[in-house]
Amino acid sequence: MTQYDEIMQHVPVEQLAQRFGVDESQVRQATQQALPALLGGLKANADDPAGASSIMSALTQHAGGVPSSVDQIDTQDGQQIVGHIFGGNTDEVVNRLGNTQGGGTGDLVQKLLPVLAPIVMSWLAGRLGGGGGLGGALGGTLGGQQQGTGQAAPAPGQGSGGLQDVLGSILGGHGDSGSGGGLLGGVLGGLLGQGRR
């Protein structure tokens, strides 16, 4: 099982279908559109040292485990996370995602993003919380960057188990790292990474 599949397993598809009054297949389809976008947005923000630090700080607030039901998910918190990830491009991201794979899912994607964001953050907090904890993961994320020296961080993905590595691994295992013409590279293009400031 890939890490992407692990996250998908935490999505309460049946409960969400009941809450939104749609078929489970529609929830799965919209989740398959929204989840890579969230992960890709996080990775794009994590490629900036300030963005990575902000994400790691936010992860400490989601270290209590992945919510097991819709009722445990704070969608107001989720909306803030989505805003931080996509910045001013949130509406455009939703519009583009809603027009992929036959379209017609924009409204559902918009409803799902604030639900999926806390799930992703909680899963990442658990994944990065092992070993040296989130502080250690942040060290791996920022790599050799030294505070106060102005030295640049190493290229993304060269940390030791840091945030960028984990996100890159998830997206790579899912078959869309954002560099090609897939969902992240083609559909969302330059929209990702705007929330890091």
pTM here is 0.76
Stronger pLDDT, 190 or 123, i.e. the higher one? 123
Q: What angle do CA 72, 77, 82 make, to 5 degrees?
A: 120
Question: Residue 103: pLDDT above 80?
Answer: no
- 8-36: pLDDT as tens digits: 999 999 999 999 999 999 999 999 888 98
Residue 143 has pLDDT above 60, yes or no: no
Spatial separation of the C-alpha atoms in residues 141 and 1, rounded to whole Å = 24
Nearest-angstrom CA–CA distance, 86 and 45? 9
Cβ neighbours of residue 36 under 8 Å, at least 6 residues apart?
A: 171, 174, 176, 183, 184
What integer best gives the mean pLDDT of the chain? Answer: 75
Rounded CA-CA distance 65/39 in Å is: 18
pLDDT tens-digit series, residues 158-174: 333 488 888 888 887 66
> 133 to each of 3, 31, 107, 121, 128, how far by Cα in Å?
19, 29, 37, 15, 6
* CA distance linking residue 1 with residue 12, whole number of Å: 18
In terms of Cα–Cα distance, which of 177, 175, 172, 174 is closest to 188?
177
DSSP per-residue string spanning 138-189: HHHHHTT--TTT-PPPPPTT-SSS-HHHHHHHHHHHHT--SSSSSIIIIIIG
Mean pLDDT throughout 48-75? 89
Q: What is the mean pLDDT of residues 83-101?
A: 82
Please answer whether residues 54 and 196 qualify as being in contact, where contact means their C-beta atoms are separated by less than 8 angstroms: yes
